[in-house]
């Protein structure tokens, strides 16, 4: 499923109209009808609805919805915030159809009047502003947004909660806090940002008949989901052997942090890696071996438990590496991982302390045959890029894209919405997961799953999308099944949950 900016949505609409020959009025009809059909089911117990419309095409969708609600027996009134002259084009066409069916419209509404009327309705449809909103919300509109946010009526927004920008990087002004949003055709970027998502409430995308080819060249951002996993995750060949599924190494774990590499290695094995070696300090090995019996070991030299060095040649024969978990930031350790990263051109996942080691040598890693995948959370990404965390949160998509392009890396920017970016500008969002994942160790688990996935036979973007998808899904399923709550979910539970995830996904 594609995710779009406002500009991309307009281009896609234009393409469908110009090349597909679809009339804009039909797209509006499709949008309004699809939303009304769902609303009629969703609000089956109610009898009365207020539809609040602005002067643009979002309001036009509102007129279509009002007509279908009226036809199916709802008591409906449209509250038109603008004067009659302001309603033009496709919206005017659909306004007229509503009038032809004896639909009631109150024009030039003032907020006090609407406030007095609201108790008469069971729910409110918000079609005031869509993706055409620009700049500060005008004073004529603000009181209505305020009113909806203060009222106890259920508010259902059309396309986007009115007032909320579609794109990242725009300062949010006042916006409707919807209970439910019917997103028209494609989710907009703000739905997958921490600042925007809470305004949408629950949401569903309604298709309006735009052909798939309208999206090519007009959107490079996709939401990863079950369908994407099922169509890209390779089936295990009956005649395969352990060498067919990747021989990986996890490099890290100074003496005070044996748990991190254990989690990464266990997660990699549980996600299908064929052979797994843990390279860590000697003292850690008995501790780790008691938890992860399937791994092999490579001793890293240490001084008082701090990793000092090893021969990079020892890691030449692997198919993929995960570096940095629990590794520590001592200068001598950093020198070792920098040497390793520079000497070996093979797929590698760099996480945690490894990201700090990587920073000074970023300029040296862009010319490679095999991908480097970095997995920062917002704080680590701020450290790498020099942006503040607030700036990162404001425009995570473009900052990740800029960084991936500059250093020719794959970036897995971890958060409530994990944004995966390729050096070529493609992006994927993963939104599986829950608050239980906000805990130490879950990042180590993700690195292990990523390592396993990049050693299977699938494209790098699919591997990264699939890894993030199952990591979050495991957390969700552990909580849904009652095995854990979001409070007691541990990183190791996420690993245990992978069996159920694979079983469920292979049944699809």
Ligand X SMILES: NC(=O)C1=CN([C@@H]2O[C@H](COP(=O)(O)OP(=O)(O)OC[C@H]3O[C@@H](n4cnc5c(N)ncnc54)[C@H](O)[C@@H]3O)[C@@H](O)[C@H]2O)[C@@H](O)CC1
Annotated binding site for (6S)-NADPHX: 57-61, 130-136, 159, 326, 377, 444
Q: How far is the CB of 13 from ligand X (least distance, A)?
A: 4
Pick one of ligand X, K ion, none as the site partner of residue 303 (Cβ within 5 to 8 A by kind): none
Judge whether 60 and 82 are in contact, CB under 8 Å.
no
| Binding partner selected for residue 455 from ligand X, K ion, none, CB under the kind-specific 5 to 8 Å limit | none
Q: Residue 134 binds which entry of K ion, ligand X, none, with Cβ cut-offs from 5 to 8 Å by kind?
A: ligand X
Q: Which residues bind ligand X (CB under 6 A)?
A: 13, 24, 27-28, 31, 54-61, 129-138, 141, 158-159, 184, 208
> In angstroms, what CA-CA distances link 441 with 97, 325, 419, 436, 500?
58, 9, 19, 11, 20
With CB under 5 to 8 Å by kind, the binding choice for 57 among ligand X, K ion, none is ligand X
Shortest distance, position 64 Cβ to ligand X, whole Å: 8
* Closer CB to ligand X, 138 or 242, in the complex: 138
Using the minimum distance from each CB to K ion, give the nearer residue, 62 or 103: 62
Closest separation in Å from C-beta 244 to K ion: 51
> With binding defined as CB under 5 A, does residue 158 bind K ion?
yes
- The two most distant CA atoms of the chain are separated, in Å, by 84
3-state SS assignment for residue 3: coil
Nearer to ligand X by C-beta: 27 or 384? Answer: 27
Residues annotated within a binding site for AMP: 414-418, 443
Q: Two tokens at 148?
A: 């909806």
Q: Which of 481, 395, 480, 472 is nearest to 437 (CA)?
A: 472
Contact 163, 178 (CB under 8 A): no
**Per-residue buried b or exposed e for 160-195, using 16+ beta carbons within 10 Å of the residue's own CB:** bbbbbbbbbebeeebbbbbbbbbbbbbbbbbbbbee
272 binds, among ligand X, K ion, none (CB under 5 to 8 A by kind): none
Q: How far is the CB of 147 from ligand X (least distance, A)?
A: 15
- Out of ligand X, K ion, none, what residue 60 binds, judged by CB under 5 to 8 A for its kind, is ligand X
The distance of closest approach from Cβ of residue 207 to ligand X in the complex, given in angstroms and rounded to an integer, is 11
- Structural tokens at position 247: 């021989």
Element (H, E) at 240: none
User: What residues from 104 to 133 belong to the interface with K ion (CB under 5 A)?
Assistant: 126
3-class SS of residue 331: helix
Beta strands per DSSP E along 6-84: 48-53, 75-80
Q: Please, what is the minimum distance in Å from the beta carbon of residue 131 to K ion?
A: 9
Quick note: the x/- pattern for K ion over 185-224, rule CB under 5 A, is ----------------------------------------
Contact 397, 189 (CB under 8 A): yes
Tokens 């590698």: give the residue: 348
Judged by CB under 5 A, the chain residues 32 through 61 that form the site for K ion are 58
Q: How far is the CB of 133 from K ion (least distance, A)?
A: 9
Find the binder of K ion among 57, 162, 421, 466 (CB under 5 A). 162
List CB contacts of 102: < 8 A, sequence separation 6 or more: 70
374, β-bridge pairs? 350, 411
| Closest CB to ligand X among residues 108, 504 | 108
- Per the CB < 8 A criterion, the answer to whether 31 and 64 are in contact is yes
Helix (H, G, I), strand (E, B) or coil at 284: helix
Q: Which positions make up the binding site?
A: 57-61, 126, 130-136, 159, 162, 326, 377, 414-418, 443-444
How many C-beta neighbours within 10 Å does residue 348 have? 28
Q: Binding-site residues for K(+), please?
A: 58, 126, 162
Determine the residue with CB nearest K ion. 162
Among 273, 301, 278, 299, which residue's Cα sits nearest to residue 290?
A: 278
Of 126 and 351, the one with the shorter C-beta distance to K ion is: 126
Nearer to ligand X, 31 or 322 (CB): 31
Closest separation in Å from C-beta 169 to ligand X: 16
Q: Based on CB atoms, which residue is closest to K ion, 58 or 167?
A: 58
Q: Which does 157 bind (CB under 5 to 8 A by kind): ligand X, K ion, none?
A: K ion
| 377 strand-pairing partners | 414
76 binds, among ligand X, K ion, none (CB under 5 to 8 A by kind): none
Task: Closer to ligand X by CB, 26 or 299: give it.
Answer: 26
Nearest distance from C-beta of residue 53 to ligand X, angstroms: 9
- Which of the listed partners (K ion, ligand X, none) does 168 bind, with a CB threshold of 5 to 8 Å by partner kind? none
Between 63 and 410, CB nearer to ligand X:
63
Q: Which residue, 175 or 449, is less far from K ion as judged by CB?
A: 175
Q: Which of 55, 80, 157, 338 binds K ion (CB under 5 A)?
A: 157
In DSSP notation, 418-487 reads EEEE-TTS-EEEE----GGGSSTTHHHHHHHHHHHHHTSSS-HHHHHHHHHHHHHHHHHHHHHTTS--TT
For β-strands 418-421 and 427-430, DSSP reports them as antiparallel
Q: Residue 2 or 387: which CB sits closer to ligand X?
A: 2
CB of 119 to ligand X, least distance (A): 26
Alpha-carbon distance of 54 to 99, in angstroms, equals: 17
Smallest gap from Cβ 12 to ligand X, in A, equals: 9
Rg (CA), the chain: 26
CA 246 to chain centre: 28
Using CB under 5 A, list all residues that contact K ion.
58, 126, 157-158, 162
């Amino acid at each position: 499923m594609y995710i779009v900016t406002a500009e991309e949505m307009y281009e896609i609409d234009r393409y469908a109209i110009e090349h597909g020959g679809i009339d804009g009025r039909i797209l509006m009809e499709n949008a309004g009808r699809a939303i009304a059909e769902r609303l009629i089911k969703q609000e089956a117990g109610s009898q009365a609805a207020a539809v609040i419309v602005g002067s643009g095409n979002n309001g036009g969708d509102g007129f279509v919805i009002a007509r279908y609600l009226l036809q199916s027996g709802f008591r409906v009134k449209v509250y038109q915030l603008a004067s009659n002259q302001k309603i033009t084009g496709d919206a005017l066409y659909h306004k007229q159809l509503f009038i032809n069916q004896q639909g009631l419209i109150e024009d030039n509404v003032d907020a006090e009047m609407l406030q007095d009327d609201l108790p008469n309705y069971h729910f409110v449809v918000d079609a005031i502003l869509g993706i055409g909103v620009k700049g500060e919300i005008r004073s004529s509109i603000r009181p209505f947004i305020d009113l909806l946010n203060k009222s106890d009526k259920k508010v259902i927004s059309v396309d986007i909660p009115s007032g909320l920008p579609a794109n990242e990087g725009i300062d949010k002004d006042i916006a409707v806090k919807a209970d439910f949003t019917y997103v028209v055709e494609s989710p907009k970027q703000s739905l997958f940002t921490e600042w925007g998502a809470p305004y949408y409430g629950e949401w569903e995308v309604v298709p309006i008949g735009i052909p798939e080819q309208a999206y090519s060249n007009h959107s490079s951002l996709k939401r990863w989901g079950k369908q994407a996993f099922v169509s890209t995750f390779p089936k295990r060949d009956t005649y395969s052997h352990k060498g067919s599924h990747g021989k990986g190494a996890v490099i890290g774990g100074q003496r005070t942090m044996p748990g991190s590499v254990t989690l990464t290695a266990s997660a990699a094995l549980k996600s299908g890696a064929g052979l797994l070696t843990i390279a860590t300090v000697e003292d850690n090995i008995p501790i780790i071996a008691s938890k992860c019996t399937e791994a092999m070991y490579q001793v890293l030299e240490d001084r008082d438990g701090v990793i000092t060095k090893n021969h990079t040649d020892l890691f030449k024969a692997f198919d993929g590496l995960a570096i940095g978990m629990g590794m520590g930031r001592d200068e001598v350790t950093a020198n070792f991982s920098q040497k390793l990263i520079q000497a070996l051109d093979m797929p590698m996942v760099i996480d945690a302390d490894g990201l700090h080691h990587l920073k000074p040598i970023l300029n040296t890693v862009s010319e490679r045959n095999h991908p480097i995948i970095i997995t920062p959370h917002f704080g680590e990404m701020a450290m790498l890029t020099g942006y503040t965390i607030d700036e990162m949160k404001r425009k995570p998509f473009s900052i990740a894209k800029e960084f991936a392009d500059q250093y020719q890396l794959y970036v897995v920017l971890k958060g409530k919405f994990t944004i995966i970016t390729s050096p070529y500008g493609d992006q994927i969002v993963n939104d599986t997961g829950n608050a239980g994942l906000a805990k130490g160790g879950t990042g180590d688990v993700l690195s292990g799953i990523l390592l396993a996935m990049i050693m299977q036979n699938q494209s790098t973007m699919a591997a990264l999308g699939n890894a993030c998808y199952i990591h979050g899904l495991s957390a969700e399923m552990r909580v849904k099944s009652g095995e854990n709550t979001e409070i007691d979910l541990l990183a190791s539970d996420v690993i245990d949950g992978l069996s159920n995830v694979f079983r469920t996904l292979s049944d699809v």
